Structure 1
């Protein structure tokens, strides 16, 4: 888990405005992503209240929606704030990046910003490849704006990647490597993260691996007791669940590009409740419950200790594009605000 930063009370004068004190303290590693592709949806105030009422101390927000940022004021909820892929090109300009930080961070005195995720799942081998050359320059410009405000120890700049950038032969976990087409993209990003003591954000979905692999064991994917144990001859480590194997594979891929000890924050993980292979409410509830317990206490064989993790997502997103399963990852009913599963977040 990323080191937790103590409360900083000093203020800094930046661009003629008073910058508030930010802090990233907190003991529990569980957050929930605030996907908003649904209609009707709860108000921003009701959504933030639902986080607080359920003891959810962290949120990922996929765009800098000011109404949500206003609702987060004074809530003590720590935030990953995304820069959408479509905004990356504009942030090649340092002045635009400075203005982005001013408008979306410095103007929100009582919001606890934790990370800025500069782009999500940009991949050289799909439609998002058009953003490939924009990610790192935007990261650098936003980091420079954060440094100018004296906030570099409190707000870390990163990007959110995913298992799709790993090579097909990344098994067992010690053999994890980025695919050839992604190595030139990821190596300077990883160096940037190492230079600035920032974590890599990674979306880790055992469900999609299980869905694509007919030989995968369901219990192994759900953290349930099973005879399936993956022995990694390269390290001598043993794996009893797919999440650990996938996360340690990502760690191995990072290590092959850098000898720095970069931490990985799981910026998304979940299991859909319908519309796909073994997508039942029971299986989804089992996955979320076991994931929460696991990341709070155990860690992976390669990285013991708790794992800062964000569950996807707060609500089913009926308007989301893609496969039907993509629309059924929600933890709460958006109409009634009632939980779909019996989970304890705190």
Structure 2
């Protein structure tokens, strides 16, 4: 294996040993609980559902008292929101912020573990100059109201942005905010730095794919094996759209001198259903995006510009919202059915929190099952791309490191075959986990040899 890959693997291994994989929770996996619907399950049942998963935080778009109360004593971190319509009163009425906190926070905290109050949603890219001018005063007043009741250091105040606040995002190192918003954002970021609040953003690779519906773009968006995209200024190769979008935000913050502010992904997801003219929605794509995103977060690899950590990421969404306007996809982002069963398995069960450990080499033995291997005739360059993808994304490639049980024969084809099968067996054993841009296939013939044992699904 190439030297940089070997170095990358041991960096990941060190992170793995120190990571919260061995704890009982993963605080970076969160979900949005939208309620624009007239058929949702009782919130008490939803609270039980959330507790049965690996989800550790939940975002409400408003401050529904029934939902906040139902989430009490669950241990879940809760984000509540003041709507765009509340911003003028929060900014200008000297009594309203304190009243808002007395109504929406004090009756429930700390039993309901409110961690963030968001003031407005996607205001900065709305074009509403009146709201844009008032959002920072509103945030300051909410912060002051929290401080007045000794909660200033315990509950953060933020707002949520769409990716439209960026005027430049490709390549990621050139990420920059819209110049017309720069002064307002600089003042807001100064407030957020002073109060330790996160910059909350809504990256959606789904929309990026809709604007560029090529097969290679789909693989890039779904965290599937692909050729990657090189940032021409830094030389960094990005292997998925999520990292590229988040790093573009990091670069934009850095350009204003605020790279130390924590980034939180307030929304991201993929619809499992859409209208006939919509590009991208499907069960397979939604499962691949959310499942692979969760695996990526659990790897603790982070992004190229922010390595070694996982960003708090709120998946969109817990349920479908049947009263949302727009195309069918807008009402089809749910992870769970109304009976609380999964629409598809994205790996959110508590049983999937702890990854399987390294495969212990043993003498090959007959086994029934399926392995993922390269198709005949695939070039070494394509196999090297597959190998690089797997081993740079946190999968256990130790067996094909020097001294490993599968290091010999030291060929690209042999190492790629082991790595490709490792991804397939670890990532869910779904057909799309053994695609690799149509260079792989499933076989029932065990490719293990000598002391080299390929993991197998049974």
Q: TM-score, normalised by structure 1?
A: 0.87
Tell whether the 8 Å contact from 2:26 to 2:55 is kept in structure 1 after alignment.
no
Tell whether the 8 Å contact from 1:190 to 1:258 is kept in structure 2 after alignment.
no
Q: CA RMSD in A?
A: 1.8
Which one of the candidate residues 340, 343, 351 is aligned to 1:340? Answer: 343
- Number of aligned residues: 318
Question: Are residues 195 and 234 of structure 1, via their aligned partners in 2, closer, same or farther at CA, if it must alter by over 3 Å?
Answer: farther
Unaligned runs of 5+ in 1: 1-24
- Counterparts of residues 261-276 of structure 1 (less than 5 Å): 261-275=260-274, 276=278
Tell whether the 8 Å contact from 1:125 to 1:181 is kept in structure 2 after alignment.
no
Counterparts of 1:125 and 1:105 in 2: how far apart (Å)?
27
Q: TM-score, normalised by structure 2?
A: 0.67
Counterparts of 2:188 and 2:255 in 1: how far apart (Å)?
13
Q: Are 2:313 and 1:309 aligned? A: yes
Specify the alignment match of 2:103 in structure 1.
103
Most deviating of 209-218 and 94-103: 209-218
User: What SS does the corresponding residue of 2:306 show, helix, strand or coil?
Assistant: coil
Counterparts of 2:123 and 2:260 in 1: how far apart (Å)?
23
Tell whether the 8 Å contact from 2:189 to 2:258 is kept in structure 1 after alignment.
no
Tell whether the 8 Å contact from 1:191 to 1:258 is kept in structure 2 after alignment.
no
Tell whether the 8 Å contact from 2:202 to 2:267 is kept in structure 1 after alignment.
yes
Report deviation, 1:299. Answer: 1.1
User: What SS does the corresponding residue of 1:118 show, helix, strand or coil?
Assistant: strand
Tell whether the 8 Å contact from 1:203 to 1:266 is kept in structure 2 after alignment.
yes
Counterparts of 1:178 and 1:170 in 2: how far apart (Å)?
9
Specify the alignment match of 2:230 in structure 1.
231
Specify the alignment match of 1:319 in structure 2.
323
Offset from partner CA, 1:258-302 (integer Å, 9 cap, x none): 245111011111001111212100110110101111122221111
Greater relative CO (CA pairs within 8 A, separation 6+): 1
Counterparts of 2:150 and 2:233 in 1: how far apart (Å)?
43
Unaligned runs of 5+ in 2: 1-23, 354-458
Tell whether the 8 Å contact from 1:34 to 1:62 is kept in structure 2 after alignment.
yes
- Counterparts of residues 99-248 of structure 1 (less than 5 Å): 99-109=99-109, 110-124=111-125, 126=127, 128-167=128-167, 169-215=168-214, 217-227=217-227, 229-248=228-247
